[in-house]
Every structure is written in structure tokens, then in C-alpha cells.
Structure 1
């Protein structure tokens, strides 16, 4: 499908791996200029080379580091994008962490603040930095990454749950404020997708259970994600496909919405 966004410019955060990298590859294959951003250069240049290999219609690819917990660095990222491309049309915020996990009563204020600073405030900062560029253009697409945890929280991940619920609310709030100006803002809620974050979870589980990682995945699906009716982990490319659609001209009547890409993990019809 031609997404009709060739020549547009997209900023993808958390882009050195997982959903961010998969999204960047899909968008660049549609002729979109891509700015990949992550906290450190480690892995980012390699990711940029992978994205360049998929480029179509002379799409350009840049890699720029930025720590989303520092607004000055986010603002500098926005300045660099404006200098290089005249501003951004598309923002996909994939940066995030699982954060501190465990019994609620064992989690400190610092545990909460650290997760909030990255998973919720990171999204706030990038939107604050890039929405003005879209206002000038009168066109924009923003996709934020929420999670199944926002609608179906798991008791050991309370800070992450709360942040992802906040992302869905933020999405609706921003869409009401800025969609009248042509900026369409949506979020996507993945569940148990094969990414470095869930890989680390499975490695930790395998060590705890004294099993292989594959056995840990099988146990986790059966005991912790029994509602995933497709009975497997998701692929980053499957989430990226939904994100890419929401960035396209074909999604011109969609805003303020949350799209679940969860293999059926959320058990309710209206979650």
C-alpha cells in the first residue's frame, strides 16, 4: 500500500532497536526522511545503516542522540531537525523502559519518578518540542506508544502501568487541542512483543526458574499472558505496520484513538 507520505520527515525516538527501529524501516521504505534518536550512540549508528538500506525515493536518514529526560536535549533535537529538513511532519515516540517492578510497597519515590520521567514525561517533552513545527506546516502525525498494561495492569509493574495509562489520556488530550490544526495524534498499545525490553524480562525469568529463555517464554505465555489467543510473542514489525498506517494519509480521519496490537491479550471488549 502506498501510504502517500513520500518526502515527509519523521522523528522516531527509541529507534536503535525493537518497535522504533522496525517503524523507521517501514517509513523509510515509503520515502520518508528519518531521524533516528536514542539516548546513546551505542547501536544507533548501526540502526541508521539498517534503515538506510531500506530507503526509497532518495529518503535521507540521520542519527541524533537525545536524552528525553532533559528538555534542553529534546529541544536541541528539534532544532537540528528544523535545520536539516525544515521541520518534522511525523513524530513516533518509542522510547521507554519497564522501570522498577515488584511489590508496590517495596517501590520508592525514586523508582516511580525514574519511570515517570522517561515513560510519561519523555512523551510530554517530545510533543512539546515538535508540535510547534507541525503547526507551522498545518499537517502532522504523532504516534505515542502505550501498552496493554494501561487497560489490563499487572500488579508487579505499577509505575509502568500508570505511565502507559497516562499516555492514552495524553493522546486524547493533545488530539482535542491540536487536531483542529491538522495534527492527528494517536497511540498504539502493544502486548508482549519481542523487543530488548521483553527479552531482558525473559532472561530474568529464565534465570529465576533455572530454565532456558525459550522455556521461560512458553511458561510466561501459559501462566501470565493466557489471553494471548495467537499463543506467541508479537513481532516489532507487526506493531510498526499499525504505526506506519497511522502516520499515513489513509488515516486522515483517525485521531485521539488507541490501537491495541496485543494478540488478544486484553481480555475485555471495551478495554
Structure 2
């Protein structure tokens, strides 16, 4: 299938691993010129080496919670590739977890700063050039948690609900400029983030890693009827569609990639 984006320019944040890296991979395979960004912790360089054989790709380290870093990321990409036509916001963290009464302001603010305000800062940089060109695609990573909150990770849930609202509002404002803005909502995908969650669960319960995964699915995610973690490429397939010319009439939508985890029709 011709996706109509060969030669386009994309920036993917949170791209050193997991769904962000896989989204960058899919875009490169579609002929897109790709910049990846994440914090400078060593894994970004590894991702760049892995992706380089697939096409034209560059990496720039930066922190989406730092406004100066955000400006520098975009300036660097513009100077080397040009203004991105596509922006994928995969930067995010689980953040502060635990009983609501035990999570302090710092935990809330850090989670919101990365997951929600990071998207705000990056979209501010992305949208003007897309409007000027009359073509753009923005995909923000939300989560099943945005519409089906879990009591032990409310800062994350609230931040992702904010991402859904942000994307919907932006889609109404800039869709008329042919800038299509949508979200994807994964659930329990096989990534370093969920690996860490399951290692912690296995230790707390005194069980194997695989049993921790099985019990989590049974006890915490009963709606996931496939009874397994999702694969990053299953999420990236939805991202790629939303980034493509094929998505020219999809705006303000949320695609769930969650094995049926969300029980309701709404949201």
C-alpha cells in the first residue's frame, strides 16, 4: 500500500526504545526521513545505530520538560532535515504510583510535566510550519488509562486524559489547515516500561516474571481478551496509518490498540 509519505520529514520523541522506536522504524520503511529524540542516557545512540540501515535518520538528545531543550531539538532537526511534516509524541513515563493519599505534589507535577506538558511544548514547535505548508500529521500517545483510570496510577491516568483532550482541541483548531491531529491508546505493550513494572510485581509477589505477567492480565486487565502483552509493532502500525496520506479524513480520533482492555464504548 502506498502511504503517500515517501520523502516526508518526521520527528519522533521517546524514540530510544519501545513504541517510539518502532514507530520511527515503520516511518523509515515507508520512505520518510526521520529524526529521533529522547533523553541522553545512552540508549538513544543504540537506537540510532539500529535504525540507520533503514534510511535517512538522525538523533538529537533532549528533555521535553526543558523549554530550551525543546527549542534546540527542533532547531537542530530543521537545520539538518528541514521542518518536520510529521510529529509523533511517544515520550512518556509511568510516573508516580501508589495510593492517592501517598502521592505528593512533586510526583504529580513530574508526571504531568513529561506526559502532558511535554506534548504541549513539542506541538507548539510542530504546528506553525505544518500550517504554513498546508500538510501535517501529529500523533500523540495516550493510553487506555485515559478513559479507564486505575487507582494506583492516577497521575499517569490524568496526564493521558489530558493528552486526549489536548489532541481533540488541537484537531479542531488546526484541522482546517490540513494538519491532522490524532491519538493512539495502547494497553500493556511489551516495552522496557512494562518490563520494569513486571519485574517489580514479580519481586513483590515472589513469583516468576512470566507469572507476574499472567497474574497482572487476569487481575488488573481482564478486558484484554488476547491474554498477552501487545507488541510495539502492533501499535506502530496504527501510528503509521495516522501519519500517512491515507489518514487525510481522520482528525481528532483516538485509536485503541488494547486487546479490548477498555470495557465501554465511550472515550
**Whole-angstrom distance in 1 between the partners of 2:78 and 2:170:** 22
Match of 1:44 in 2: 44
Q: TM-score scaled by structure 2? A: 0.98
Cα distance, 1:130 vs. partner?
Answer: 1.4
- Cross-structure match for 2:159: 163
1:121-176 deviations in whole A, cap 9, x for unaligned? 00000001111121221110000000000111000011000000000000010011
Give the secondary structure class of the aligned counterpart of 1:265.
coil
CA shift, 1:41, in A, is 4.6
Select the residue among 138, 142, 145 that pairs with 1:146.
Answer: 142
5+ residue gaps, structure 2: none
Note the residue ranges of structure 1 that are not aligned, 5 or more in a row: none
Matches within 5 A, 1:1-271: 1-55=1-55, 60-271=56-267
Segments of 4+ moved more than 6 angstroms: none
Q: Matches of 2:48 and 2:132 in 1, distance apart?
A: 28
TM-score normalized by structure 1?
0.97
Cα RMSD after superposing both structures: 0.8
Query: Distance in 2 between the 1:265 and 1:54 partners?
Result: 33
Residue pair 2:9, 2:82 contacting (<8 A) in 1 also: no
Distance across 1 between alignment mates of 2:212 and 2:181: 36
1:270 Cα deviation after fit: 2.2
How many matched pairs? 267
> 1:53, CA displacement in angstroms?
2.1
